[in-house]
Structure formats: C-alpha cells, structure tokens
Amino acid sequence: MSGSDQGTTIAAYNQGVALKYDAPVKIYYDPTDGQPKIVGVDPILAQAYAGPGGTPLSGVAPHTHTLNSGLEYYEDARLILTGLCIPNSGLTITVESFKYQYNGVRATYAGLPALDLSTYMTVASGEHQWVLIGVDPVTNLIDVEVSSGVPVAVPLTDAALDAITFINKIPLAAVQLTYGLTTGATFQSDFTDCRVWNTGLGGSNPATITGLANGGTGSDLSATGPGYLVQSANAANVMLRGSVIGVFSILAN
C-alpha cells in the first residue's frame, strides 16, 4: 500500500495464488467492481525473499526427477497414448493411432473411433473369455481374436491369453468379456495392456538374405529360440524373430 494506506490490513479476493505465509503478491483494484484482487506472486520480491539458491516459497528445495535421483516418476503405461485402447460407450473401444515398421516399410495405423467388441463375444451363459485386439501389419487393419470360454468361477489367465493365435500381428490390448455384459461399467478393470515396447516385428524375403536359398538347410536354420533365423516349412519367407538388439549382417559360409 502507499501513502496513508501503509500498514493498513485489507481483504482482497484471491484469484488462485497458493496460500503461503509471507508470500509477496500483486494486488490490483478491479475497475468493474472496485474490489482489491490478488492476481499473482511478485517474482522479483519472491526471489529476493528466497535468496540466491535458497528455498523457494513452496518450501521445496531445488531438485530433479532424473533416473537414480530417488524421485523418479513411475508412469502407468496406459497413460501413453500411442496405440492405446480406451473403453468407450457400451462395449465399444477407441483405438488410438500409432506408427510401426513391417518388412522394412514404415506405416501408420490411423486409429479407430469405435470398435464394437460385442460382435466377437462367443461365450455361453455363465462363461467369460479373452478378446485380443491388435493390428494386422499386412492389411493395416484391426484384427480381433478370442479365447475359448470358461466358467466365470475360473479366472482368465495370462497363459490363456498368450495361447491365442496372433502370428505376425501387433497386439494392443485384451479385454475380459462375460456373457450378458452390455456396458463398460467394469470394462476398465477387465482391460489388459498388450502393447509391446521392447521387441520388434520384422521379416524379409529369402532372396535378400545372402547365402540362404529356399529350402536351404544348415546349423543356422536348425536352432530355435529368440535371436535365431527360422525358415518356414514352405520356404515362402524367412523371418527375423526376437528382441531388437541392433543391426547385423548374415554372411554365407
């Protein structure tokens, strides 16, 4: 305050400034109603109050949230929008867009505003089942597969979900659907995020891999497991499977 008003206590309308003792604030008189209103913290006086490198008015000292700081933020994967499946009205879900690479070609799945899962329900009364949602990279379209139905008293397991045939598809989410369910009231708790963050889906024609011909044999084709080269029985494709670990070359013997 100034002049004769100095030292006078007045009431001012707070427009959103945090309540902190001794916080230096800016006040103005609103010409529309003539009332004093607090519009913000005075940054110059606030810094002077804290001092160089001092504790700010919030009472929290300067800090970071970097890795190994002990203050890391752990975010739920379902907060990541890329390829996210979101419960919608009824038994529909919204599928968000995402980018991927298949057979050396980058592609974009544009998303789907409403996918009705009720059309995929195959269980009988008293049963429930897994419904797996993903994208077929060959067609760039949604693909939905289901597990067999089991009594609702029997929990749906990860093993049953993993047993659903989804070869060369990009999994996004799985939903537990129960016979007679018509609304998504319990949808969120029945959702399982199936997006794969640390593995790749890729493939190549045999002609592009030096030293391997259709129908070829050898120790490099006889082994199985992650990171090995596997040739299909009809020799139509040679697929590179497993986690993406880097760029490498395949040389002929």
pLDDT tens-place values along the chain, 253 residues long: 444 556 677 788 887 777 776 778 888 888 888 888 888 877 777 777 666 665 556 555 667 788 888 888 777 777 788 999 988 888 899 999 999 999 889 999 999 999 999 889 888 999 999 999 999 999 999 999 999 999 999 999 999 999 999 999 999 999 999 988 877 655 667 888 999 864 444 433 333 343 444 444 443 444 444 444 444 444 444 443 333 333 333 443 3
Whether residues 120 and 149 share a domain: the answer is yes
Give the pLDDT of residue 252: 39
Residues paired with residue 146 on neighbouring β-strands, in sequence order: 131
pLDDT given for residue 221 in this prediction: 41
CA dist 131 and 175 (Å) reads 5
For 189-226, letters b (16+ CB in 10 Å) and e give ebbebbbeeeeebbebebeebeebeeeeeeeeeeeeee
Q: Which domain holds residue 155?
A: 78-193
**What pLDDT, on the 0 to 100 scale, is given for residue 214?**
46
Same domain, 44 and 147: no
Tell me whether residue 240 is in a domain.
yes
> Is 64 domain-assigned?
no
Is position 69 within any domain? no
Are 109 and 40 found together in one domain? no
Other C-beta atoms closer than 10 Å to the C-beta of 39 total: 15
Amino acid at 103: N
For residues 98 and 163, membership in a common domain is answered with yes
Strands 105-109 and 98-102 come out as antiparallel
pTM above 0.85, yes or no: no
Establish if 198 belongs to a structural domain: no
Q: How many residues does the chain have?
A: 253
- Residue 166 DSSP SS3: coil
Residue 71: inside a domain: no
- Is residue 70 included in any domain, yes or no? no
User: In terms of domains, do 111 and 92 share one?
Assistant: yes
Based on the domain organization, do 188 and 209 belong to the same domain?
A: no
- CA nearest neighbour of 145 among 179, 122, 111: 122
CA distance 73 to 222: 45
Whether residues 107 and 153 fall in one domain: yes
So what's the pLDDT on residue 148? 92
Give alpha helix (H) positions in the chain: 43-50, 158-162, 219-222
Number of domain units in the chain: 3
Cα 25-26-29 angle, rounded to 5 deg: 135
**pLDDT at residue number 65:** 82
Which residues make Cβ contacts (< 8 Å) with residue 176, sequence separation at least 6? 128, 129, 130, 131, 156, 190, 192
**Domain shared by 160 and 245, yes or no:** no
| Domain finish residue from 143, 173, 193 | 193
